[in-house]
Structure 1
Amino acid sequence: MRNLTIWALPLVLLLLIGALIWGLSRAAIDVVMQKESDPTQPDMHIKYGVLQRFDEQGIKRSELIASEMTHTREQDTLLFSQPKLVQTEAGKPTVTVVGVRGKSIFKGSQVWIYDDVELRRAPFDGQAELILRTRDIWIDQQSQQAHSEASVVADMGPHHAQAVGFIADNKVQTLFLKSQVKMTYVPTARTALTGAAAQ
Structure 2
Amino acid sequence: MTRWRYGWLFPLVLAICLGGLSAWLGRISQVDVEETALNPNEPQYSMTGINGKRFDEQGRLKENLGAETAWQLPKSDDVTFEKPELAMYNGGQLLYTVKSNEAHYNTENRKVQFQNNVVLTKNADAQRPAGILKTNSLTIDTQTETAETQDAVEYRYGDSHGTANGLVYDHKKGFLNLPSRVKAIIYDPKNL
Structures share fold, TM-score greater than 0.5: yes
After TM superposition, the score normalised by the length of structure 1 is 0.72
Superposition pairs of residues 16-55 of structure 1, within 5 angstroms? 29-30=34-35, 33-35=36-38, 41-55=42-56
Aligned to 1:112: 113
Aligned to 1:150: 151
Larger helix fraction of residues: 1
Q: Deviations over 1:79-107 (max 9, x none)?
A: 11110000001287611000011110125
3-state SS, counterpart of residue 149 of structure 1: strand
Aligned to 2:79: 78
Structure 1 distance, partners of 2:61, 2:40, is 29
Q: Deviations over 1:93-130 (max 9, x none)?
A: 61100001111012571101110000011011253311
Aligned to 1:19: none
| C-alpha displacement of 1:52 | 1.8
Aligned to 2:174: 173
How well do the aligned residues superpose, as a CA RMSD in angstroms? 2.4
Cα separation, partners in 2 of 1:143 and 1:39, compared to 1, 3 Å:
farther
| C-alpha displacement of 1:40 | 5.7
Cα separation, partners in 2 of 1:105 and 1:73, compared to 1, 3 Å:
farther
Identify unmatched segments of 5+ residues in structure 1: 1-25, 193-199
Aligned to 1:103: 104
Aligned to 2:63: 62
- Matching residue's letter, 2:87: V
Alpha carbons 1:93, 1:123 under 8 Å: kept: no
Q: Deviations over 1:140-180 (max 9, x none)?
A: 11011110000001102321121101111111111111111
Q: How many residues align?
A: 161
Structure 2 distance, partners of 1:139, 1:158, is 24
| C-alpha displacement of 1:61 | 1.1
- Matching residue's letter, 2:175: T
- Identity value in percent: 24
Cα separation, partners in 2 of 1:74 and 1:53, compared to 1, 3 Å:
farther
Alpha carbons 1:92, 1:170 under 8 Å: kept: no
Q: Deviations over 1:11-64 (max 9, x none)?
A: xxxxxxxxxxxxxxx8x945xx222xx666411111111122233444321011
3-state SS, counterpart of residue 127 of structure 1: coil
3-state SS, counterpart of residue 44 of structure 2: strand
Alpha carbons 1:148, 1:167 under 8 Å: kept: yes
